[in-house]
Structure 1
């Protein structure tokens, strides 16, 4: 993990960058690291640059708290032409055995919510679910209408005998919910249990014995809004993606699963999938986990990013492009496939501790390094539900931080500004009193999250000032004293 002198409370994980070639899209990388085992560093929301250095980190107070779906979005407050970039994420606790066994593994515990933060890292909005459902970590998307589209879940009592379970059982149900951000009012909802048949689940009802009798038959894990007033909904445990009429709630078509309306070309089948998205034309994308534990079905396949062509006349799905990793990865859960503005694809490998970027053409199984432009590995058993590359300009409302230390060769002044994307260099001031400081280092180039600047100035008082690319002072730190 990283440790900083000027920010001793921050201990983000340190990733290992294994590939970094030209041609990547602009922007930084957004992850929300956590672990079901031994966490390396702190959980929280983390922005890294291409070198793997932190840009911004917001740690959480406990490893029992997690963030998820951390990314940049545009917030429209009722004015279409006045959208502002914001950071959004889910925060709460996940049912992660052995700590929590009251719900299926990965389900959200009560008490979670969604956050919107502005470019100065100030809280703008907190969003909650309706109908007694728990805000779900799987999805939180802002629309141009000033609304938020998300998933919410809760256990619902249900007689599971028709499916081979107990009479007094329960099912983990999910709702798609859309709320107005200005008022918090629920505008639309779609309930999985009203439209899907639990008998079609690929998750055996016997699995409920390890989660207090709650069966995760559906595991709805993404919703995307597309043209013509439709939603694209992914149900991991049904191995299916559904096109749904937003107005009526009716399922217009099903891709995959036991009642698929589509047949499949070679290598187009998917299993335990995540992050289904509309793509231009008659295409959709997803992260095909492809593994593991395929009951009475095909052999497991490597996890990969997948883009499908959909022929609605012939009702046939064929592979458009695939994105595999080298070494091969097998992710039982989580993951995403993000379309980047330059045509590249960014893959978060979910339960496998990697994130990668590929040129548009992609690759095929057995050629996982082909067209791979960027690759990084998380430490230990750390994972991130999704990973994104987003352009972001952050100007913190709080000042930079400074610290001073002495060694046998003089003084070292440490400077950092958590979240500043415009700082390019540092100026160091020193003096015998807090109110009598002068510049002793005119310009020291920024070198990662924290910059160490050596000076012969005895101090014992020091201050740093952040400089932009033109050398303009952005903001000064508080004055600090050299420890005695």
Structure 2
């Protein structure tokens, strides 16, 4: 997708807000490059400290310094599996739709902590099967680019599929509200946080909830972010107060679980939009916070267990923002909410990497895996962690220097990729030795076992697959030969590359 002038302006603003003026002494995080593929992805530095769960790693590294980004899939050994198109990507998530594995991600124009775009859904051939949009015009949206219009106003923060073939997304509408209670004008401007449930196949809006329209149940007194704070806005039309900042939604039965970052709040909404209960991370809300259960500026809140008497929540507890600075260690947090009696909130679990703690000021995710394992993606800090059922860290994965690379969330998920393309191959002669080498890769293939090399239609060499790109030495290969490489094993067994002619130099 072409980069708009809005994208580059926002990237500059984002880099400035993170204090990035140059890369300084730490330099640029190295990228993996290949001979058979144009892919360029950050090296994933993985340290295993114990047994991890099965599955690949799904995240979308955005390189703030170089101005590039891709949805990606990696294996645990740090090898690239798939790189998607070059674009700013948020809310990338492997999920199930119509009984089949898919990946959803946001793409569009992002900045200032929100964005305007669409959710793309791809299947395991990496082809787009649905684009979920929200018409800015039909929903009467005002954007920060007003009066210039944009086609779709889906925000960056969520792309959660439901079992009913619908998608939960956030949106941001610039509207007026009385800010006198927080020291602003009566006719101030805010980023209204909206929740939508949209039918994937028809784009029909099935549910809508507006924070501004529910100020009686979610008042400005809940907000921790002060008016005029960095990232939250000053309350005028060009810099609206981002008080709600809704960053995750999930549906349980007919109810909606909604996380508001700057309110440090979690709401359970009824189908009519009324608030069933409210949990505030500093004040408790409808609950009483026990020792160790305080949280704020959280992301990715989910219900991991529920009965009529008790709900267990998980979250990525940032506890920091751009305007607070790196104050508290970021943790994965589990809270038990008693829904009856004195409504206490007790600590169900907390995890962090004590040896390499992070202080995350934006973004992040918490994924419950099998056997009690948990995967934390740390958003603005380019680090992914996995913990076992006892809270011990079993994996660290780094894909960039702090404040120069980021990924909104990260997931581990089983996946079998069957690319609609064919393998990519190149054959060349070493400048130093004159020996011929064939390089082969297949973007998105997950289960190739080995490669066969055909020279002038004759099987000449075989070699086991070795990472994203496999180098295969073929002694005596003449420079005029036609070379084809064939995948062996997996769903793409027998798929051949296009013929290539041996080049002169590698």
TM-score with structure 2 setting the length: 0.83
What is the DSSP-based 3-state SS (H/G/I as helix, E as strand, rest coil) of the residue aligned with 1:342?
helix
Contact preservation (8 Å) 1:12, 1:59: no
1:429-468 to structure 2, matched below 5 A, reads 429-431=454-456, 437-441=457-461, 443-456=462-475, 457-458=477-478, 459-468=480-489
Q: Could you tell me how far 1:420 is from its partner in structure 2?
A: 0.5
Which among 96, 105, 121 is matched to residue 74 of structure 1? Answer: 96
Change in 2 beyond 3 A, CA 1:177/1:261: same
Give the aligned partner of residue 56 of structure 1: 82
Distance in 1 (alpha carbons) for counterparts of 2:444 and 2:256: 34
Give the aligned partner of residue 147 of structure 1: 166
Q: Could you tell me how far 1:392 is from its partner in structure 2?
A: 0.7
1:235-246 to structure 2, matched below 5 A, reads 235-245=260-270
- Residues 21-74 of structure 1: per-residue CA shift (max 9 Å, x gap): 443111100011114x4138x4010100001110000131xxxx4101112111
Distance in 1 (alpha carbons) for counterparts of 2:284 and 2:339: 16
Change in 2 beyond 3 A, CA 1:293/1:140: closer
Give the aligned partner of residue 16 of structure 2: none
Q: Could you tell me how far 1:218 is from its partner in structure 2?
A: 0.8
Change in 2 beyond 3 A, CA 1:260/1:446: same
Change in 2 beyond 3 A, CA 1:469/1:123: closer
Q: Could you tell me how far 1:174 is from its partner in structure 2?
A: 1.6
Is it true that 1:379 corresponds to 2:400 in the alignment? Answer: yes
What is the DSSP-based 3-state SS (H/G/I as helix, E as strand, rest coil) of the residue aligned with 2:228?
helix
Which among 367, 371, 374 is matched to residue 342 of structure 1? Answer: 371
Distance in 1 (alpha carbons) for counterparts of 2:72 and 2:193: 28
What is the DSSP-based 3-state SS (H/G/I as helix, E as strand, rest coil) of the residue aligned with 1:420?
coil
Distance in 2 (alpha carbons) for counterparts of 1:222 and 1:386: 11
Give the aligned partner of residue 368 of structure 1: none
Which among 399, 404, 411 is matched to residue 388 of structure 1? Answer: 411
- Residues 273-295 of structure 1: per-residue CA shift (max 9 Å, x gap): 11110011320100000224787
Which among 349, 358, 362 is matched to residue 321 of structure 1? Answer: 349
Distance in 1 (alpha carbons) for counterparts of 2:437 and 2:188: 63
Change in 2 beyond 3 A, CA 1:30/1:299: closer
Distance in 2 (alpha carbons) for counterparts of 1:271 and 1:338: 18
Which among 212, 217, 226 is matched to residue 204 of structure 1? Answer: 226
Change in 2 beyond 3 A, CA 1:210/1:445: farther
Distance in 2 (alpha carbons) for counterparts of 1:299 and 1:44: 27
Give the aligned partner of residue 174 of structure 1: 193
Give unmatched runs, 5+ long, in structure 2.
1-30, 142-152
Q: Could you tell me how far 1:266 is from its partner in structure 2?
A: 1.6
Is it true that 1:476 corresponds to 2:496 in the alignment? Answer: yes
Equivalenced residue count is: 440
Q: Could you tell me how far 1:360 is from its partner in structure 2?
A: 1.7
Is it true that 1:106 corresponds to 2:106 in the alignment? Answer: no
Quick check: 445-454 or 456-465, which moved more? 456-465
Contact preservation (8 Å) 1:39, 1:382: no
Change in 2 beyond 3 A, CA 1:272/1:403: same
What is the DSSP-based 3-state SS (H/G/I as helix, E as strand, rest coil) of the residue aligned with 2:42?
coil
Distance in 2 (alpha carbons) for counterparts of 1:403 and 1:213: 51
Give the aligned partner of residue 445 of structure 2: 420
Which among 240, 250, 254 is matched to residue 278 of structure 2? Answer: 254
Give the aligned partner of residue 428 of structure 2: 405
Q: Could you tell me how far 1:143 is from its partner in structure 2?
A: 1.2
Which among 208, 218, 240 is matched to residue 214 of structure 1? Answer: 240
Distance in 2 (alpha carbons) for counterparts of 1:374 and 1:33: 18
Distance in 2 (alpha carbons) for counterparts of 1:469 and 1:123: 22
Is it true that 1:117 corresponds to 2:122 in the alignment? Answer: yes
Contact preservation (8 Å) 2:296, 2:318: yes
Give the aligned partner of residue 202 of structure 2: 183
Distance in 1 (alpha carbons) for counterparts of 2:501 and 2:400: 35
TM-score with structure 1 setting the length: 0.86
Give unmatched runs, 5+ long, in structure 1.
77-82, 96-104, 363-370, 432-436
Is it true that 1:91 corresponds to 2:82 in the alignment? Answer: no
Q: Could you tell me how far 1:375 is from its partner in structure 2?
A: 0.9
What is the DSSP-based 3-state SS (H/G/I as helix, E as strand, rest coil) of the residue aligned with 1:415?
strand
Contact preservation (8 Å) 1:21, 1:374: yes
Q: Could you tell me how far 1:323 is from its partner in structure 2?
A: 1.1
- Residues 199-257 of structure 1: per-residue CA shift (max 9 Å, x gap): 43111112324982311111110011124x22111100001111111x22111111115
Contact preservation (8 Å) 1:71, 1:390: no
Give the aligned partner of residue 434 of structure 1: none
